[in-house]
């Protein structure tokens, strides 16, 4: 086990259960600090877990929750190197940045998801519409939802003709560059520079037209949070290059970004989606919460 893991998260009470159980199952203790929006639910859930742990003969303090929502206490928690072995933030980019900038303990960056779908000039457009709709609409508040659509200029007109009615029917607000706006008709706002770097977590998306795969890759390199990206194409060479050159935790060909999930990957429940490269990357299950320990039995051997 890694030791004592501090989980700093926002308003989703399910994280209380997921984090506590995963840490307990992997032999770690955990300190939970949820957002003030759901503090009563979090405290109630943690109380049930602590009671169950005690009935099972384990120390109830293996799961601890901070009931005081004063934000300054989070900063103090993240400096306790003698007590905290790892911090994992679960939430938006602001929370993750605060934890990374404040912590004096190791941090695993998780969750921030400016995810992209790139529709190549050799794409099956009906497939593309289906993937885009799922990636944006099925659960827009999650970190694996698509935020930015990149479209090759050769297919922007036919794609937008198919896509816009589908997205409008699902009440998606679109913000696009000039070429995509002209192809999509009325009701599409002009995208700004800020849109390319925004994780909306809502029924809002940005659309940019690109002239080549190189331009799509450049955009992703500049604005991606290294979470999940997908290409829609029937060209195997293009697909392979996309897979090799996109530096994200999960890279797809002809599939929705919404598959980046511990259950979908066969890992069971997850502690988060790591977007960094060290130790763990992508959906983090039980195996990501343990390290190595070498046990050596000898009979007097000495090193020469």
Comparing 79-83, 97-101, 166-170, the range with the smallest average pLDDT is 97-101
Give the residue with greater pLDDT, 90 vs 148: 148
Contact indicator for 94, 102 with CB cutoff of 8 Å:
no
- In terms of Cβ atoms closer than 10 Å to its own Cβ (0-12, 13-18, 19+), residue 178 is exposed
- CATH fold for the domain made of 4-110+271-289: Aldehyde Dehydrogenase; Chain A, domain 1 (3.40.605)
Residues 272, 287 contacting (CB under 8 angstroms): no
Average pLDDT over residues 279-285: 88
Residue 192: pLDDT above 90?
yes
pLDDT score recorded for residue 276:
83
Residue boundaries of the structural domains of the chain: 4-110+271-289, 115-259
Fill in the DSSP letter of residue 212.
S
CATH number belonging to the domain at 115-259, selected among 3.40.309.10, 3.40.50.1370, 3.40.47.10, 3.30.410.10: 3.40.309.10
Angle formed by the axes of helices 39-55 and 14-25, nearest 10°? 30
Q: How far apart are CA 293 and CA 196, in angstroms?
A: 44
Contact (CB, 8 A) for 96 and 15: no
Range with the lowest mean pLDDT among 44-48, 106-110, 123-127, 240-244? 106-110
DSSP 81: T
Task: Give the pLDDT confidence score for residue 278 in this predicted structure.
Answer: 79
Cβ 2 vs Cβ 291: under 8 Å? yes
pTM above 0.85, yes or no: yes
Domain 4-110+271-289 and domain 115-259 have a common topology: no
The pLDDT of residue 95: 85
282-284 vs 272-274, strand pairing mode = antiparallel
207 DSSP β-pair partners: 149, 176
């Amino acid at each position: 086990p890694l030791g004592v893991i501090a989980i700093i998260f926002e308003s989703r009470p399910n994280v209380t259960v997921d984090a506590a159980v995963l840490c307990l199952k992997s032999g770690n203790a955990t300190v939970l600090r949820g957002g003030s929006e759901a503090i009563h639910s979090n405290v109630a859930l943690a109380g049930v877990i602590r009671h169950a742990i005690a009935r099972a003969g384990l120390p109830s303090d293996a799961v601890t929750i901070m009931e005081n929502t004063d934000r300054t206490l989070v900063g103090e928690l993240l400096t306790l190197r003698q007590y905290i072995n790892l911090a994992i933030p679960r939430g938006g980019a602001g929370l993750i940045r605060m934890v990374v900038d404040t912590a004096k303990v190791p941090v695993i960056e998780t969750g921030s998801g400016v995810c992209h779908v790139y529709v190549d000039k050799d794409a099956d457009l009906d497939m593309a519409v289906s993937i885009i709709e799922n990636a944006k609409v099925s659960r827009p508040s999650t970190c694996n939802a698509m935020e930015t659509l990149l479209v090759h200029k050769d297919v922007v007109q036919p794609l937008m003709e198919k896509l816009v009615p589908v997205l409008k029917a699902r009440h998606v607000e679109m913000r696009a560059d000039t070429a995509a706006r002209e192809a999509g008709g009325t009701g599409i706002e002009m995208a700004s520079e800020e849109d390319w770097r925004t994780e909306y977590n809502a029924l809002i998306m940005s659309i940019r037209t690109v002239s080549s795969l190189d331009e799509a890759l450049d955009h992703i390199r500049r604005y991606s949070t290294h979470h999940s990206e997908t290409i829609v194409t029937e060209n195997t060479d293009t697909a392979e290059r996309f897979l090799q050159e996109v530096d994200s935790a999960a890279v797809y060909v002809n599939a929705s970004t919404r598959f980046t999930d511990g259950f979908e990957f066969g890992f069971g429940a997850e502690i988060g989606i790591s977007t960094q490269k060290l130790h763990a990357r992508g959906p983090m299950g039980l195996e990501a919460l343990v390290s190595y320990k070498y046990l050596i039995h000898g009979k007097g051997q000495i090193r020469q």
